[in-house]
Chain A
Amino acid sequence: MPLLEVRDLHVEFHTRDGVAKAVNGVSYSVDAGETLAVLGESGSGKSVTAQAIMGILDIPPGKITGGEILFQGRDLLKLKEDERRKVRGAEMAMIFQDALSSLNPVLSVGDQLGEMFVVHRGMSKKDAKAKAVELMDRVRIPAAKERVGQYPHQFSGGMRQRIMIAMAMALEPALIIADEPTTALDVTVQAQVMDLLAELQQEFHMGLILITHDLGVVADVADKIAVMYAGRIVEHAPVHDIYKAPAHPYTRGLLDSIPRLDQKGEELYAIKGLPPNLMAIPPGCAFNPRCPRAQDICRTDEPPLFRVTEDGARRSACHFWRETLRDA
């Protein structure tokens, strides 16, 4: 049994202008100790799926219209809110992109870290503070003892993100969801933070869902990748396979459109057009208006996630996945 299994999840947003179909039948799973990277551009539904798993979706305007989220065998969508609250933070935790706006500016970081232990474990404030220092040490914040009483604005961007990681790790959850955890950081600091995250994941044998738009970060840390487009998974594969030979034209296009660091390239490949409006997703394959391979069938029939390998570890939602793979 996987640690977390999302099955055919559908999420909609009801707005004044109409219904935006943000997630349209997403299924993925994560095992303990495994890293799943969810890759996609803005509006692909990658963060909304994560919010649905965590139970922090704004309802309304959001609405989960179908599917199951099985966490350690229980369907989270059937739990009552107070049961859900016990899961959140203690058994699964989330790391956000912007640490400065995720931390409370008027509470010291020690109080915010300690709060986890006071609320979930019923510890005294004094013990909780000692735990907070321990956690700050663990994420390598220098002079943790002296800095535990400081406020978020007194830390650098990299250190604030470490504090976020410390907070997520505090109760040793089984699953961590990191939503663009290093996007706001500089590259040298990004490397430090990703290393720390990978190390802690190993140590506690946690499942990690890493949500990002950066193909480089994914290549470094993920075991498997789910590529999302217009609220659906278009390709799912072990990390090595997808970079060597993508089986979906969208993945191919993404890989070709990033310039290389190790050599000067020719003109960049650019995927034509724009991502679709979620209120008017094109019929058939959502990628068809931008796809160089599109045929009539792509405009009429929505492709299911075809099995590319026998065991189903590789899947592609393209009618022409064989051709895409062959030309890779």
Chain B
Amino acid sequence: MSNVVMQTRIRLARNLKKYPFPQRLNTAGKNEVAEEIIKAVKNSNSPLSKELNILYVKDLTEAQRISLVEQHLASPEFMSDSAGRALILSKDKTMSIMINEEDHIRLQILYKDFNLEQAYDTADKLDTLLDENLDFAFDEKLGYLTQCPTNLGTGMRASVMLHLPALKSSKAIGRIAGNLSKLGLTIRGAYGEGTEPEGAMYQLSNQVTLGISEKAAIENLKNIAQQLVTQELQSEKRMSENLETQDKIFRSLGILKTAKLISCKEALELLSNVRFGINASLIKDVSLETVDELITEIQPATMMVNKNEKIPPRERDILRAEILNEKLN
């Protein structure tokens, strides 16, 4: 099950009652909000208060900012502006709070397996502890009040990242996507642009936040995710018996092991094929963990942050090939 589900994420949007929403705040106002939230987190008796990193966006280099986006710890929108913005991050990176993104607080729990209930439970507890020190904007009828009415109510966005190579290649994903909106869910590519997400990685999340409880929304998402996983595994099984598919998988591994220059896009495609090969028990000497780590490690900004230097595109393609050769041989 968790071979198809690569990641579980819960995000809660919260705002402080006594301040206008971020869009209506100047930098001084945002700084004030940030300090109040940071203080509340430090004083909360939560797991996050014990081991936290506070990253002020204005102090980060562009590569550091983008790398955090590549690791799914911050949104592109958050990192594209630095005024009054800060990211609170737990040491193990499973808990984070974006301060002054679209809302004052965007609390996130990120797990590397399929565990929506536990992720929500952790988010809920952290939220309750913060509630003791912060006065949240809340209305009995409309729930948590958010800057954009699309997040009203629970303020919760639950999502799972799915690796769906078989459903992608059979074009079934388009059909599925069309039906999901009727169920209050949405699916989009986790990486890359357009209708052809790179590496066949998709993000499935709930869309409706008002009139449905957190528990029901999670249950709904979980059921649909499970159905997608079942369909994917069935198609994978069928496809993996095909010699052309097997050839593609082993060629992909061969290229990753020996290439001298490789773009991020190509690497993601090939890693996706290898991942499929591991799931179908065709490839036995590479682990899923290695592949999943590489998916983040070979991202352009993350490579630069790990090397601690600015690397031009061609040199990045060389370095990427070196990393892949080493990790997969």
Whether chain B is bound by chain A comes out as no
B-side residues, CB < 8 A to A, are none
A-side residues, CB < 8 A to B, are none
